[in-house]
Structure 1
Amino acid sequence: MPVTDITTDAENLTMTLVADVAAPVDRLWRAFTQPAQLERFWGPPGWPATFTRFDFVPGGRAQYAMTSPQGEKSRGTWEFIAIDEGRSFEVLDAFADENGDPMEQFPAMRMLFSFDATDAGSRLTNVTYFTSAEGLEQVIAMGAIEGSRLAMGQLDAVVQDLRAYAQGQGTRVELLDDTHVRITRLIDGPRDLVWRAHHEPELLRTWLTGPDGWSMTVAEPGTEVGATFRQAWEQDGAPETAFGFEGEVLQLEAPRRAVTTERMSGTEGPATINDLQLYEEDGATLLTLLIEYPDKDTRDTILATGMTDGMEASYARLESEVVNA
Structure 2
Amino acid sequence: MPVTSVTTDTEALTLTVVADFPVPVERLWGAFADPRKLERFWGPPGYPATFDRYELRPGGIAHYWMTSPEGERFYGRWDFSEIEEPDRIVVLDSFADAEGEIDTSVPSGRMTLLFESTATGSRLTAVSESPTLEALEQVLAMGQAEGMREAFGQLDVVLAELREYALGKGTVTEVLDDTHVRITRAFEAPRHLLWRAHTEPELMRKWLLGPGGWEMTACENDFVVGGSYRNAWAPVGDTVGEPFGFDGENLVIDPERRIVTTERMTGAPFPANVNDLSFDEDGGITLLTLIISFPDVAQRDMVLATGMTTGMEASYQRLESEILASV
How high is the TM-score relative to the length of structure 2? Answer: 0.97
- In 2, distance between residues paired with 1:298 and 1:242? 21
Specify the alignment match of 2:206 in structure 1.
Answer: 206
Question: Helix, strand or coil for the counterpart of 1:241?
Answer: coil
Partner in structure 1 of residue 68 of structure 2: 68
Cα pair distance change 1:239/1:219, threshold 3 Å: farther
Following superposition, the deviation at residue 27 of structure 1 comes to 0.3
Partner of 2:122: 122
User: How far did residue 307 of structure 1 move?
Assistant: 0.7
Give the equivalent residue in structure 2 for 1:309: 310
For 2:186 and 2:245, the matched residues in 1 are separated by 26
Post-superposition offset of 1:77 = 0.2
Q: Which shows bigger deviation, 19-28 or 187-196?
A: 187-196
Aligned partner letter, 1:220: E
Superposition deviation, residue 85 in structure 1: 1.3
**Deviation, structure 1 residue 231:** 0.7
Does the residue aligned with 2:177 lie in a helix, a strand or coil? coil
Whole-angstrom CA distance in 1 between matches of 2:81 and 2:241: 66
For residues 160 and 130 of structure 2, what CA distance do their matches in structure 1 show? Answer: 33
**Contact 1:229–1:247 (CA<8 Å) still a contact in 2?**
yes
Name the CA distance, whole Å, in 1 between partners of 2:277 and 2:42: 17
Report what 2:2 is aligned to: 2
- How far apart in 1 are the matches of 2:170 and 2:241? 31
- Please state whether the residue corresponding to 2:243 is helix, strand or coil: strand
For residues 161-195 of structure 1, the C-alpha deviation after alignment (integer angstroms, 9 at most, x for no partner) is 11111111111112222111111100111111111
Retained in 2: the 8 A contact 1:189–1:324?
no
Q: Which residue does 1:292 correspond to in 2?
A: 293
Corresponding residue of 1:96: 96
* Paired position in structure 1 for 2:38: 38
Deviation of 1:15 after TM superposition, in Å, equals: 0.7
Q: CA RMSD in A?
A: 1.2
- CA shift, 1:282, in A, is 1.9
Alignment partners' CA distance in 2, 1:160 and 1:91: 26
1:86 is paired with a residue whose SS is coil
Report SS of the residue matched to 1:318: helix
Mapped partners of 1:324, 1:21: distance in 2:
35
1:126 aligned partner, one-letter code: A
Give the partner amino acid of 1:131: P
- Name the CA distance, whole Å, in 2 between partners of 1:240 and 1:309: 16
1:137-286 paired onto structure 2 within 5 Å: 137-237=137-237, 241-286=242-287
Q: Which runs of 5+ in 2 are unaligned?
A: none
Task: Provide the C-alpha distance between the structure 1 equivalents of 2:241 and 2:105, rounded to a whole number of angstroms.
Answer: 60
Mapped partners of 1:317, 1:39: distance in 2: 30
Distance 1:81 1:227 in 2: 44
CA 1:62–1:116: 2 relative to 1, 3 Å: same
Count of residues in Structure 1 that have an aligned counterpart in Structure 2: 325
Q: Normalising to structure 1: TM-score of the pair?
A: 0.97
**Deviation at residue 106 of structure 1 after TM alignment:** 1.1
The whole-number CA distance in structure 1 between the counterparts of 2:222 and 2:278 is 16
Letter in 2 for 1:233: W
Mark the CA change 1:122 to 1:313 in structure 2 (over 3 Å): closer, same or farther: same
Can you list the C-alpha shifts for 1:46-96, whole angstroms capped at 9, x where unaligned?
A: 000000101111011000000001011111000001111111110000000
Task: Report the CA distance between 1:149 and its aligned residue.
Answer: 1.2
Deviation of 1:273 after TM superposition, in Å, equals 0.8
Distance 2:317 2:122 in 1: 34
Q: Percent identity?
A: 56
Task: After TM superposition, give the deviation of residue 209 of structure 1 in Å.
Answer: 0.4
Q: After superposition, what is the alpha-carbon deviation per residue over 1:110-130, rounded to whole angstroms, capped at 9, x for unaligned?
A: 011010111111000111111
Moved over 3 A (4+): none
Instruction: Measure the CA separation in 1 of the matches of 2:74 and 2:292.
Output: 21
CA distance in 2, matches of 1:284, 1:100: 33
Structure 1 residue ranges without an equivalent (≥5): none
